[in-house]
Structure 1
Amino acid sequence: MDDREFWKGAVIGAAATLLLSNNNIRDKLPDLLSGIDSMTQRRSSDAEGASENDSDD
């Protein structure tokens, strides 16, 4: 059983099952995902602002 992709998938699947079967985590998951989304949008807008400021020179 030297198939690395199989074991990687098995570990990810086991972790997802464990996380999604936990009621506390499942209840907080939407808040976590929306926090990640807003954080990535903020970084994206910060990066766009920085590139616009650099092009003004």
Structure 2
Amino acid sequence: MTMEIVVTLLCVVAVLFGADRLMLGLERRGHLRWRRSGRHDLSAVPETGLDALFADGSRRL
């Protein structure tokens, strides 16, 4: 019984490690942002038209 738990935990760790390495490889190729690159500075992102519409409460449609 305890050996099954150990094998299961080892399999889970191996899958998580493999998934992390896959995501790091995709990040290195520029396909996504995983954990090596920092977060986006959301204050530097320009507002879209829809964001500006909702932010301005005095504006009517």
Give the structure-2-normalised TM-score.
0.48
Kindly name which structure, 1 or 2, has the bigger radius of gyration based on alpha carbons: 2
Shift >6 Å, 4+ stretches: none
Structure 1 position 50 matched with structure 2 position 23? yes
Greater relative CO (CA pairs within 8 A, separation 6+):
2
Aligned-residue offset at 1:55: 0.4
Structure with the bigger percentage of helix: 1
Alignment identity in percent? 0
Which deviations, in whole Å up to 9, do the C-alpha atoms of 1:22-46 show, x marking residues without a partner? xxxxxx0000000000000000000
Q: Which ranges in structure 2 are unaligned for 5 or more consecutive residues?
A: 31-61
Q: Which ranges in structure 1 are unaligned for 5 or more consecutive residues?
A: 1-27
For 1:55 and 1:37, the matched residues in 2 are separated by 27
**Equivalent residue pairs, number:** 30
Report what 1:7 is aligned to: none
For 2:19 and 2:28, the matched residues in 1 are separated by 15
Report what 1:8 is aligned to: none
Give the structure-1-normalised TM-score.
0.52
